[in-house]
Each structure stands twice: as C-alpha cells, then as structure tokens.
Structure 1
C-alpha cells in the first residue's frame, strides 16, 4: 500500500489515525525520528529460575533447549550472526554485489528456501518463500565468476530523513510519513538466484551505490544518508554489519527479530525500515493455507500504555513510551513449521466494552488473541472485521529467549 492509498478509506485508516493522533499530542510539526534506536528487552526477558526457589541459580542444570532445540530455553535461530543480548544487536556477514548497470549493492542474508544452505550458512529455512515469486515480489540475480551476485534491478535511496507529520486540523490522514530509505518500484528484499537452482533468498539491502570507504563506520555513528536505519556499526573491511534488534513474542516465548522492509510507507517509517514496493505483490490472507508466502503478525493499535506498566503493548505504547510494541508472531523456527520472514500484519483494536470491563492487557500468543477476537473483545479498526491490513513487513527472526 503506497502513500497515495492513504487518501482513501481502508482498514489501515484507523491504524494511522491512532498513530497520527498520538503523534499530534507529542509533536506539533514534522519530526525527524532518531535512527538506530535500541529497544530494551528487559520487560520480556525471562526471570532467572532461582526466583522463589530454595536453591541458588548455580544448582540449576542447562536449559532444555541445549539438549533439544524445540524445548524451553534460549536458542539462536539465525546462526550466521553474533547476538549481543546486552546491547540488543546482532552482527551479520556483509555481502557486496552489484546491479547489472554496475552500481554497488551491500546486503545481508537471513532466510532461504535452500534447506541445505540454511544449515551451511546459519540462515533461517522458509519453505513459504517459494510462493512469493509472483509479480514483482522477487527479483532475479545471477552469480558471476567471482561469486558476486549481479541483480537484475532494484535500487534503494537511503538519503531521506525518517520523519512523520500529523495532519491538520485533523491528525488523520498524516501530512507526511517519510521512511528513511525508499526502494524504487522494482525493489524487494527477495532474490531468486537463477544459476543456483532457482532458490530464493531474503537479501535486504543495507547500502546502495556507495564505495566501501564511504560506509566504513566500524566504531558506530554511521551516516544514515548512506545506510539502513537499523545499522549500528558497519565494517566493509571486515565485511560485517551490526544491526539493532526488536523484542516480540511467539506462542508466549520472547523472541528477537530485525525489521528490514515494508510495502507501506507509514509502517516502514515507524519500523525504521525500507519501503519495498515489490512486496505488495505477495498474496496476503493465506496464512497457513496452500501456496501462502506469509505468516501472521498480530499488532495492537490501542493496547495498555505506560513505560513501566508490565501490561503495556501496542503502537500507542511504542510511540508514547519509546519502546517496542511487543508484537505477537505466528510460527517461528523450532516452534512451528510455517515460518516466513514475510509477516501479514493483522491489526487488533480493543473494544470500548473490553476496556471498560478491565479486560485490556498484554496478550502473548496467537490463539489467545484469536479467542478474544472470537468473543468480541478485539476487532479490526473501528469495529471492522478482524484480519489482514494489506501491510507486509519483512522481519527475520534472530533468537528465541525462551
């Protein structure tokens, strides 16, 4: 959904109204949003097992996940990277490619349909990505003799300053929602390598049409006119990039993920992601049905707020309280078989009756949310039917904390 669509009524309208009204109370005019904001994970991090027990923590054995990855305990999913839980970052290999016209492409790899290569490279396996190859949702690339990917098309402009401006006199629709990076009409993070068995990779662009010297920020403080807003440090000499992580939940287990791209300008702005128009061709609403490329992401517009509120959740809280919205993911690796890094955003709004009855709280897993929807306590925006907003976000999973 592009910026022009914001002038028309849609399910997305209510979401943006909530966001814009909140922003209007915070800022009276266009506001540049800080890049690379770390989001704390303290409020979703598991408590130590010795709490309430009569023995010290040293008496407890290893986490069950160290014996079998599906069991409870911390488990790193995207093994290609080095996770720093204290800093809430991951450091990934940085790859260099080029477009057919010679312009440089700097990117990372997170997911693929090539199951053997996920094991070899430490990536996430996603069978669902095979069904994303519709319209402009997947770009083509070939490997050259030097092992460099040569992309058919897809450019990204990293020069914009990420900002949002509420409307006036009414906050909705926003006068402006400017992502910090904008792909051209051909850009999508998904790439099919034509001369490598046609496997599809999730390869988000981190920098474009720049030399290694221009984006060398190994000690941090990168120039966000040149690199993705999630970048904390980037070192082309070492071929690594450090990225900020965002906390969320999946089936009541805390997880960490990276937001790279969205097909919607407002979502891309709020997620510090790249606007990727090509993703709009991915079919939504299929969830776990045949030939679906997506998995569902559950987001709340009007959850509880208050930075120190242990029940806080949702987009209002993310803006007002300055931390992550604690979104709820469907299937992730090791928990389910239906993982895709392409998340179909389902927006929930607590009803007035639910709020008055004191039922509004932090929800932690998909089927809990769906039961509240079934009972009528949560609806789509303005009482609409609950379901997809048409927004897709590219958020690869990095780690399970439990």
Structure 2
C-alpha cells in the first residue's frame, strides 16, 4: 500500500469512533501536557533562581596586586586591555586609588577625608559590578574628562548629600584641593561594597588633575560561568606577565556552586517526571488500541476474507495508533505551552519553554504511538478470517 492509503485506513478507524478517539487522544494529550508543564514550570522557576544568583556575581572575578615587601606591585597600565582579550571574558572594568582626600568644604581639615577613598573609574564600571545610580547620572565618556564625581551611597551620606536635583545648583566637593561637581550618587553595590565609601572620578581627569599614573588597583572581570575556573587560572599571567605570582584573583562566588547544584537537582527531577508522563500516556494508547482490536474482530475478519494480507492489517492498526498519538501530542503540546506561559507570567518568572522539551513531546508522542500500536497490530494480523468472523 502507498503511504496515502495507510493514512486513509488509519483515519477511518478514528473517524468511525470519534468519541473514543477523542477520549484516547485526550489521554495522550494529558500525558504530553503534563510533561511540558512539569518541565516548563520548573525551568521557568530555575531561570528565576538563576537570575537572582547571577545578580550575586556568580561570574565575577576580582583582580588585585599583592604586596611585594612594603608596597604592592602595581598592575600594568595595559592589564585591563589584556584581560579583555581572554576568550570567555564578557566584560572588564577597573578602578584605581589615586590617594587623594575628598572634603565637603575647603574649610575642613585638609587631612580629614571622612574615611572615604577617591577612585579613578572607567565608564563601564556599573555594568561590571551590577551597580545602579540612585540619583543623577554616572560618568560618561564626556564627563570623565572633566572635574565630575559620582559618590557611593555611604560617601554621599558622610558628605551630607542625599540626591542630585536638576532644579538646584550642582553640589561640589573638594578633591585634592580642586573642586569637582557631583553628577550622581550610587545605590549600594553588594558586589563591590568598597565602592559605597568611595568618590569616583573619571580615568582621564584623574590623570590630568590628580596625578594618577594609569595603574589600576582593582580589575573586575566578568566571564562565562562555565569557564570561570579556567579564566581564573590564566588571569595572573595575563594581566601581569612579568610578576604573575604577585597577582591575587578572588575565588568564584559561593553563589555559583549553589546555582550549579540547583541546575543539577532540577535536571534529575525533570527527567524523572517526563519519563512518568510518557509512560502514563503510552499505557493509555496501548489500552485503547487493544480494546479497538477486540471490538473490530468482524471488520478484521471481513478484510482478511476479501484478501487483505496480514501486513496490511498490521499497518492499518499501527497507523491508527500513531495518528491517535500524534493528535494527542499536538493537543498536549499546545495545552502544556499555554499552561506554562500562564503560570510563569502569574508568578512573574521569565517564561522558559525548552525547545528540546517541545520536540521531545511531539517525538515522544509518535514513539509512544508506535510502541503502543505494535502489539495490537500484531494481534489483529494473527486473526484468521474464520475465527474473526465467528466472534
């Protein structure tokens, strides 16, 4: 028989028993929908957890010079650019202590810096440390060349500044006996708490007005999580080829270990739930097809008496089983995707529907149809015309 003939034979069985076909397809649809829901919802939850853990800096490394005698060996001025050349690195920024004093007024003791640090800062710092501006704006390519400063949250509080208001004259602070205009105030930075007590000035203006020599004090490196250990291993020799032993690199965050453990636990859970769902759907289809064979013995006997070979009988029931599972799989996929999207949106999670799960749902439905239809098809083909018609 041609494939089109096999398809028409399979459709005949479904069309003549519409209610039973619908209920049988519903069974496989529930199984596939369950598989998608129990994989999609935990995947969305896992993504929400991953996003929260990522905010804790799971892929952030901190590079600093170590002391060589009384003074730390400075990092080369080119170390930031060299770190950016590492393949898995996705972002690099740096700050440098310029050893200046910041004061709210020039009438304050020149040596009273309120325990604050003045840092030369690159304009891409916020992206590297997941920082945000509470008021005003951060340094830009333009403002970093002029005497502008952004204050950390604690630094702003100590200097008596709460917010930047456009309708008022810009506040100024004295840094190294020069006046700097306050353009922004940072929100607390959990990944780099030392920035909370710092006054951040532009990299260029620090060199022209504060005597900054261009050597970074701290380099913040972000990279792909999967390669973080490898990046950490090569960073010392990359940023300081001559003195790699005098470079200290922070170890990966404990949050990264927690994130990986979460991924592993969720993966095992999803695999088990998906297997159970497919098993339930397959048993339902097999049961339906066995009953169908028992009820259609006269039809099978008549077709055999008219000359239909056993192979055609097998193909007929196998095609019916596959079509039944395909209909259920398509309906179950649509139901599962809709349920996952709805629940994730309600929980305010990022909706995640793994493409492999959708493909596995449709492919699994077809596979279940084949497996569930093999025994009923073989049983139908073994019936002789006389025994089938006598039933």
Using the size of structure 1 for normalisation, the TM-score is 0.23
Counting strand residues as a fraction of each chain, which structure ranks higher?
1
Using the size of structure 2 for normalisation, the TM-score is 0.23
Counting helix residues as a fraction of each chain, which structure ranks higher?
2
Which has the larger Rg? 2
Structure having greater relative contact order (Cα 8 Å, sep ≥ 6):
2
